[in-house]
């Protein structure tokens, strides 16, 4: 699955366009490498998202095309930081 879609489906970032912009601006990395929106993600990858004043680091647990809002948090484990609540 593409990184921008994963961020949206997992609800780490609420909208795909915002996820795409974050990737294009170099604020998202996978396994310590800056990632493009089209980068394919795999289970056990470490995603790091740099917001203006904080950093979220999470491990991908599973990848699903569609999930309900309540099940979205089961797609990843937060290693450090907090989710964006916007």
Domain with 61 in it: what CATH number?
3.10.290.10
85 in any annotated domain: no
- pLDDT at 84 (0 to 100): 58
86 in any annotated domain: no
Segments of the chain with pLDDT less than 50: 86
Q: In the chain, how many domains are there? A: 1
Domain of residue 56, residue span? 3-80
- Give residue-wise pLDDT tens across range 39-61: 999 999 999 999 888 899 999 99
Measured distance CA(16)–CA(34) in Å, rounded: 18
Taking each continuous run of H as one helix and of E as one strand, the counts in the chain are 2, 5
């Amino acid at each position: 699955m593409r990184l921008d879609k994963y961020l949206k489906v997992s609800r780490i970032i609420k909208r795909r366009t915002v996820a795409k912009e974050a990737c294009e601006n170099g604020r998202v990395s996978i396994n310590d490498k800056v990632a493009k929106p089209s980068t394919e993600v795999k289970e056990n990858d470490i995603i790091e998202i740099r917001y203006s004043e904080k950093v979220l680091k999470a491990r991908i647990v599973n990848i699903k095309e569609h999930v309900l809002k309540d099940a979205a948090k089961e797609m990843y484990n937060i290693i450090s930081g907090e989710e964006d609540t916007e």
